Amino acid sequence: MDDNGVKLNICQQQPIPLDVEIECSAGELLALVGPSGSGKSTILRTIAGLHQPDTGFIHCGQEVWLDRARNIQLPTQSRHIGFVFQDYALFPHLTALQNVTIALGHVDSKTRKGRAFELLEQVNLKGLEDRLPDGLSGGQRQRVALARALAREPKILLLDEPFSAVDQVTRRKLQQELVILRRDIQIPILLVTHDLDEAAMLADRLYVLHKGQTLQNGKPGDVLRNPDNALVARLMGHDNIFSAVVEAHDITQGLTRIHWRGLSLELELNQTFEVGKSIDWVIHPAHIIMHRRDRPSLGERENPVHGVVKELLELGETAVVSLELEGDETTYLRFTVSRHSARRNGLAVGVDASVSLLAEGIHLMPQS
């Protein structure tokens, strides 16, 4: 962590169990993801001084905001935080300009109004300064909330599901504006979201939380492609999670083989797990390639799997396929193809189909 970052280590048993250690550097955006009740919002509230844990500390830059062992508990107003709530929390009787100005109490009274105008312009609300919240769209209210948070000249920005209450088009615009805003504010940013696509797109790092504990943290691509265990894989939205046994390591060919449901699958050499070890494994749908009936290719030799289509859902230009494994009515592979490819290959419920599981996409995990 750099000199302007935030570091915390907090623990509690009630009302929501927490045992987490988090670091976020200045200029870094860290996303907290996980199911409801995993402690994401409680972590933000603790940083803001709105909640006090049983034990732990919070350091922001050179300041100690919380240290339970030394009985240090700075009040919220002394922490210089910017907090954007899911429900905006604007004053309904104040205009957009007044909502921002009220957060500028630390600025000379002669310059507050001008600074508030600048902040509203920064979040693309120029010309709407005199509107009450009821006269603004959801996206505009969210921009006012962000301008108000920035008005405090915060040392950390906390975003609690900031885009969940707006439509998809507005959500994308707000996400893009946040990316642009990050260039101008070099402070730690913590984002709570249930949207994994949003987290992967915006964050420098993900913290995957479950029941108040950190299961895994790292760059979004690393966490999504290489979950530490089956629980993380499920929380990351993976469908194709299975169990197998390590069959062999072939150093000469650079391959590891696993035994799965009567099949021997090859993947890139991974000697983390010894031969005979039971493991979990996962494969992303992007690494499941459907065999074409009209033009077989050499690629079909790579981990071929045969089955019967049990479900086919067309969603726009995409078809989501559930393939029941040949000879095993309890195991399914789920993948997507274009609707055009599905129709060209005659895919339909009850039709036989074959796929290849690309070796580079098979990720092994310890069995939980």
CATH number for the domain that contains residue 348:
2.40.50.100
pTM value is: 0.90
Give the pLDDT of residue 326. 86
Give the pLDDT confidence of 27-52 residue by residue, as tens digits: 999 999 999 999 999 999 999 999 99
1 domain-assigned: no
**Which residues lie closer than 8 Å to 304 by C-beta, 6 or more apart?**
291, 354, 355, 356
367 domain-assigned: no
Give the pLDDT of residue 298. 52
Residues 48 and 145 in one domain: yes
113 domain-assigned: yes
| Nearest-angstrom CA–CA distance, 78 and 20 | 23
Give the pLDDT of residue 139. 92
Give the pLDDT of residue 183. 86
Q: Which tokens go with 274?
A: 């010894």
Residues 252 and 228 in one domain: no
Identify whether the C-beta of residue 153 lies closer than 8 Å to the C-beta of residue 105: no
Residues 195 and 138 in one domain: yes
Give the pLDDT of residue 297. 56
Low-confidence ranges of the chain (pLDDT < 50): none
253 domain-assigned: yes
| The domain boundary residue, chosen from 204, 234, 264 | 234
Name the burial class of residue 338, with classes exposed (0-12), middle (13-18) and buried (19+) by CB atoms within 10 angstroms of its CB. exposed
Give the pLDDT of residue 25. 95
Give the pLDDT confidence of 131-153 residue by residue, as tens digits: 999 999 999 999 999 999 999 99
220 domain-assigned: yes
The tally of domains found in the chain comes to 3
Residues 95 and 130 in one domain: yes
Give the pLDDT of residue 328. 84
Q: Residue 125 sits in which domain range? A: 6-234
Residues 179 and 227 in one domain: yes
Residues 229 and 165 in one domain: yes
